[in-house]
Amino acid sequence: MSWTDQRIDQLKNLWEKGLTASQIADELGGVSRNAVIGKAHRLGLKSRPSPVKANEPEKKAAPKKAAPVKPAAVAAAKPRTAPSAPAPRAADPAPASGEAAPERAASAMPRIVSIGPGGFMRQGPGDQQAPIPPAPPRRLVPAKPSPEMADKTSLLDLNERVCRWPLGHPGEADFHFCGEPVNPGFPYCVEHCGRAYQAQLPRGVRRPPPPMPFGGPRVR
């Protein structure tokens, strides 16, 4: 594989998005993690929180072939300064204090609930039928970043009523979701339910596998 403009672009994007070199290599396909890192450095993309870089630069790395003579322990006191806690990841703005939405104060907070992964509300046994959050008058809709995405269903557009079947690959510009009305009770539309849920047939009678989601298998 060679570094086409396209692939370089993808590398830049994913790298700046904070994906790990492995993930990027995986995504690009045909390259190793090392290749990604090497390329990233050559592109000048360097410097992301590295696990092994707290100390000041000093000649170390014994070359693989040149005289691996290892000098005895250096008498000079090593800085015993404990490496300060690794810089936190992307600083998420902690909303903790202060008013958030100026338009409407929290209309109702009947009880404290926690939000699980994916945004589902956890309910305790006693909380069974917390009143469904009164649908706030949704007049504001997040703007689409680009005209091309205007009619696509983005992550933000997902709700209980639209098909969550992914089209394209996460991280790519045109990644979106099916968005058709769901098969009631399922996360997908009827068509994609057919793809997602398949009866287990007896061995030997299995049909050839249907096309994979995500636009098909990647070459790796």
Partner DNA sequence: CCCTGATTCGC
Partner DNA sequence: GCGAATCAGG
Read off φ and ψ for residue 115, nearest 5 degrees.
Answer: -105, 125
For DNA, the closer of residues 39 and 192 by Cβ is 39
Read off φ and ψ for residue 153, nearest 5 degrees.
Answer: -95, 110
CB of 173: closest distance to DNA in angstroms? Answer: 22
Distances (CA, A) of 69 to 58, 61, 63, 64: 16, 11, 10, 11
The residue type found at 16 is E
DSSP calls for 9-49: HHHHHHHHHT--HHHHHHHH-SS-HHHHHHHHHHTT-----
For DNA, the closer of residues 42 and 169 by Cβ is 42
For DNA, the closer of residues 66 and 101 by Cβ is 66
The neighbour count for residue 10, using CB atoms within 10 Å, is: 17
For DNA, the closer of residues 68 and 142 by Cβ is 68
CB of 77: closest distance to DNA in angstroms? Answer: 15
Residues found near DNA in the complex (CB under 7 A): 1-3, 20-23, 31-35, 37-42, 46-55, 57, 59-66, 83, 86
CA distance 170 to 214: 9
For DNA, the closer of residues 35 and 167 by Cβ is 35
CB of 144: closest distance to DNA in angstroms? Answer: 30
**CB 55 within 8 Å of CB 66:** no
CB of 71: closest distance to DNA in angstroms? Answer: 12
CB of 86: closest distance to DNA in angstroms? Answer: 6
Query: Coil, strand, or helix at residue 70?
Result: coil
| Exposure on the CB side of residue 31, measured as CA atoms within 13 A | 23
CB of 212: closest distance to DNA in angstroms? Answer: 23
For DNA, the closer of residues 35 and 196 by Cβ is 35
